[in-house]
Each structure stands twice: as structure tokens, then as C-alpha cells.
A and B are shown apart, each in its own frame.
Chain A
Amino acid sequence: MLASSTIAALRKGITAGDITPRDIVLDVAKSIEAGNAEIGAYLSWDVEAALAEADRADITKPLGGIPIAIKDNMNVTGQPCTCGSRILAENYTAPYDAGAIRLLRASGAIPFGRLNMDEFAMGSSTENSALGVTRNPRDLSRVPGGSSGGSAAAVAGDLAIAALGSDTGGSIRQPAALCGCVGIKPTYGRVSRFGLVAFASSLDQIGPVTKTVEDAALLLNHLCGHDAHDSTSLNVEVPDFTAAIGQDIKGLRIGLPKEYYIDGIHAGVSASVQAAIRQLESLGAIIEEISLPHTELGVATYYVLAPAEASANLARFDGVRYGHRSSSAGDLLEQYTKSRSEGFGPEVKRRILLGTYMLSSGYYDAYYIRAQKARTLIRNDFTEAFKKVDVILSPTSPTPAHKLGELKDNPLAAYLEDVFTIPVNLAGLPGISVPCGTVEVEGKALPVGLQIVGKALDEATVLRVAHAYEQSR
């Protein structure tokens, strides 16, 4: 089963001549065909196209011949890009490669397969996909998390070696935690957003979902870099992230925000994270309590800024240039409203309405400007904390995976689940989720994720801590 292997191991196999890129693509395809009906991680996959790429893959390149599965909101030439939405499901074929995909290809990797997601990445369970159900491979009655639920379910369920996700408020880290794999959101601006269908442009960031921390570092090496097509892309040096792998963490200072260790965290999650803290201490790290005093503002700030930005970004779906066009519209205005109303699902409509309301005349200052000010306080909290510590530790999600349908009619309760991941996006910082044990619920071992957050552009330290912890378990 090559699909259950890692990038690092398969690259060794390819270089040694033991396996070929074709073997790997065929094996991953076989795993998808055997397992996807149950897990539902993929929306589509084109074996012939991937085999053609495998046969001409340059195996001398660092990721040469490795198939990487892609969340269905990143443009890959000739492939669908549905965003989990009916509005793009029928008749959209990407005419170009996203910036991150260009770099991935330049490293020799093969984008293979399109992964399910909450519609336009709005959600934390993948239940908001209009195109299919994704199940948690650790317990098929439960959600995989989201919005990159397809990415995490594919990697954890061994239907992919590694995948790309996108993270606006936790959408890489939370599903990685709930499915039991590794997911990292890089610093805002590290990875180009060009060709990533925009949800909330000041928060969105692409990152790897992998089986190991080493693979996350390997993949990240080939996603980061400046892109002139994205005006927020950072023109900074990209270190070799794998150099951080294997270094010890003696004397490293780890902060525990007192505001995070609160009631409402599932007892099993709390116990797993406490055990991880003791483990890191035994590896020589220094544990300190810190304060992020404006934590309480995080979710409220996010649910102003993200819907506001989304309502503007999703205005482009009007049935004119691409996407669904209503067949029953009379005039142009009706074409806009009918195409959008037929094409968007309930959560997307909810957030567009929320964002439109908050940006409308008379409410803009009360909501949008106020939230941007709150964002400053949240960012300042982290700046102050990082004067004292090197990384900040918390659970990734306060609870293990829910049952499918459990939070269906309670959007606010679902939003509050993102309490630990959202502030990291608001502050633009790098954060990883790494598996830290399981909790027993109804006879199933449900994964728990440990979130490690670092200073801006310090993915290296985040990966170093995550790897030291992963290897010590």
C-alpha cells in the first residue's frame, strides 16, 4: 500500500529505483477506488492525466513523481474547481494553475485528485459541501472536520500520501486534528493565494496536510515563495524547513495561554493536551503560563471580518463569465439573483447576508471598523506573548469529532468550535496541528490535535517542536 506511505519514504524508493511514479499513482488510484465510496474524501480524480504526468515526471526534483491531492478550491489547469458548490459544479474547468500549484509542479509533484470541502471553505465539518458527504476515517459516523475535511480524511484514511488544504479560521488544522494527521497553516503571505478561490482574503492561506511532520516540512519547502500575482505575497527568504527536523527543544520556551485552558474543553482532549505538555517538558522545554487577554474577542471579530470579505469576494459569481447561469432569468438583474440563489447553499447565503448587512450603510463602522480594531488587540496580544515565549500551545479543537448532523441547525455553536484556531489567522501567524493521542468515545478512539503556534515567519520552530513531540511519543 504505497498510499499509506510518506513523501519522505516514497522519495527514497523512487531515487533507489525500487518504485516508479507510475506505481505510486496507480496505487493511490486503487486506494481511492476501494475506499472513497465509504469516506467520500474525493469529489473527482483523473487517473489518466496523472499517469501521463507520472510517466514524464522528473524524478531528480525534490518531490519528483509524488502525487499530491488538492482541495477543490485551487485552480489546476484542465481540472474542475468546484469549491464544494453547485455554482461551480457543472461547467467550470480551470484555465490556469494557482501559484502554489506552479511551485508544486516545479518541484516535480503531480497534482492528483480533487478533495471535498465545505462550500467555499465556509464551515468546520465539510457538511456544508453541496456535492457529497465526507466521513471521518476513524469513525464513519462522525465528521472529518473542515473546511479541508476531504484533505484530512484522504490523508488519514490512506487515500492520499499528502494533500493541500486552505485555512481561513482553522480549516487545515482542525480537520487534521479530528482525523489524526498533521496540518500546518503557514504565516499569512508565505504561500501565494493566486488561483485559490477567495473566501476571506486577509485570512486565507494554503498549507500541507500530511501523515508526518517531516512530510509537512518537505511539502512546505515547495509551496512558499513570492508570487507577483498576489499583492499580499511576502518577498522574503524561504528557509529549508526540513533543517528544523530532528533538532532538540532543550531550553525552548512554551507558553500556555491561561485564557485557553477553560471550561468547555472536552475532558479527554484536556487530558491528552496535558500529557503532551508534560512530554514536552521532559524533552527539556520550559513551560510558562502566558496571557492573551483579548481571546474572548476572537470568534466575534472573525465572524465580522470573514463574512464581510466573503460577501465582497463572492460578488463575482453572477452567472456572466463562469459558473452556474439560471436558465429561467428574464433580465440581467434577474440573471444575477437567480443564478446566485440557485447556485449557493445555505451556509454561503447566511454568510453573504451577514457580511452584506455589516458592510451596509450605517453599520460599517459599528461592525467592520470595530472588528478591525479588535483584530489589532488580538495581534498585539500575540506580539506581547512572543516576547516571553518561542511557541504557544493549545488544543487545536476543544472537542473531538462530532456526529454527522449534530450541529446542523446551530451555526453559532459550530462557529464557537474555532476558538483556538481563529486568533492565529487574525494575527497571521503560523500554526500546526499534530496528533496527540485519542479519546475513547462510544467505543471508538477519536484523535486529538495539539496546536503549536509560532512567531510570524517562524514555521521552522513550529515544525521543530512538532517533530520533537511526534518522535517522542
Chain B
Amino acid sequence: MPEVHQIDIQHVAKLARLTLSDEEATRYESQLGGILNYIDTLTRYDLDGVEPTAHAIPVYDVLRADEPRTGFTQEQALSNAPKRHADQIQIPKVIE
């Protein structure tokens, strides 16, 4: 008997920094439930003691020399900012 997935979709949306209309919330809740039921395939196998794989071809401890190098100019870094002021990115006021 597959577990019925109870998803508090509005809570998940809040964590994901998304706002959902009621219509979207209903649709996603039902679709995600279906997908999660399918993902329950994973519970049919005994995975105790199996090492997790993060990358198929792992490369460990990649460090570069701690030396200065050229990067973006200020203009390049700001070139796509939606709103600029005094060579900085402008956002709504955070601290009153």
C-alpha cells in the first residue's frame, strides 16, 4: 500500500521563494503527489549500507593557488543589474 503524500505546498513554496495562486497550488500539490508516489520505487530496494554517490566521476579537493588574478571589471559585474545606483546594485531598503 503506497503512502499517500501529504504536501503542504504553500509551505514548500515559501521555502522556495515562490508565490502560488490557489489554482497553481492545487495543481502542483496533485502533480507532486503523483511524482512522489513514483519515486517511492526507491523504497522497494534495500539501500542500507550502500555508499551514496554525489558525482559519478568524483574529483576531490580542488584548490587553486591563492594568488590575485583578473576578474570582472566593475562595469562588467554591474552590466546586468536590474537597478543601479552609484556603481552599486540597488535593492529595496532592508534596514529601517
Contacts and interface: CB of A to CB of B under 8 A. Distances in A.
Contacts of B92: 329-332, 334-335
Contacts of A320: 81-82, 89, 91
Interface in B31-46: 31-32, 34-36, 38-43, 45
Given A303-B38, A353-B28, A232 B91 contact: no
A91 B80 contact: yes
B85 interface: no
A86 B42 CA distance: 35
Contacts of B15: 356, 360
Contacts of B55: 188, 202, 232, 428
Given A321-B89, A353-B9, A373-B52, A412 B80 contact: no
Interface stretch (A63-71, A130-138, A337-345): A337-345
Interface stretch (A141-149, A165-173, A375-383): A375-383
A374 B64 CA distance: 32
Contacts of A234: 57, 59
A34 B51 CA distance: 54
Contact residues of A: prevailing secondary structure? helix
B79 interface: yes
Contacts of A311: 16
Nearest to B94: A332
Contact of B59 (A231, A323, A371, A425): A231
Interface in A347-374: 349-350, 352-354, 356-357, 360, 367, 369-374
A357 B7 contact: yes
B42 A338 contact: no
Given A304-B42, A340-B18, A353-B16, A92 B52 contact: no
Contacts of B86: none
B34 A412 contact: yes
A232 B57 CA distance: 8
A189 interface: yes
Interface in A368-422: 369-377, 379, 411-412, 415
A373 B50 contact: yes
Classify chain A: how many residues form its interface, as a range.
35 or more
A353 B47 contact: no
Contact residues of B: prevailing secondary structure? loop
B17 A349 contact: no
Contact of B91 (A315, A335, A415): A335
Interface string A289-313: 0000010110111011000000100
Contact of B41 (A300, A332, A360): A300
Contacts of A189: 57, 59
Contacts of B56: 188, 202, 375, 379, 425-429, 456
A93 B59 contact: no
Contact of B76 (A95, A354, A370): A95
A337 B64 CA distance: 36
Nearest to A424: B56
Given A374-B42, A428-B55, 19 more contacts: A95-B79, A188-B55, A188-B57, A202-B56, A233-B59, A296-B41, A300-B41, A320-B81, A321-B80, A321-B89, A329-B92, A331-B92, A337-B17, A344-B18, A349-B28, A352-B18, A353-B16, A374-B50, A379-B53
Q: When A and B form their complex, which 6 residue pairs have the shortest distance between CB atoms, in order from nearest?
A: A428-B56, A372-B52, A322-B80, A325-B82, A373-B50, A356-B16
Interface of B: 7, 9, 12-13, 15-20, 24, 28, 31-32, 34-36, 38-43, 45, 47, 50-57, 59, 62, 64, 72, 76-77, 79-83, 89, 91-94
16 contacts: A95-B79, A202-B55, A202-B56, A297-B45, A300-B38, A320-B82, A337-B18, A354-B36, A356-B15, A357-B36, A360-B12, A367-B42, A372-B53, A374-B50, A379-B56, A411-B31
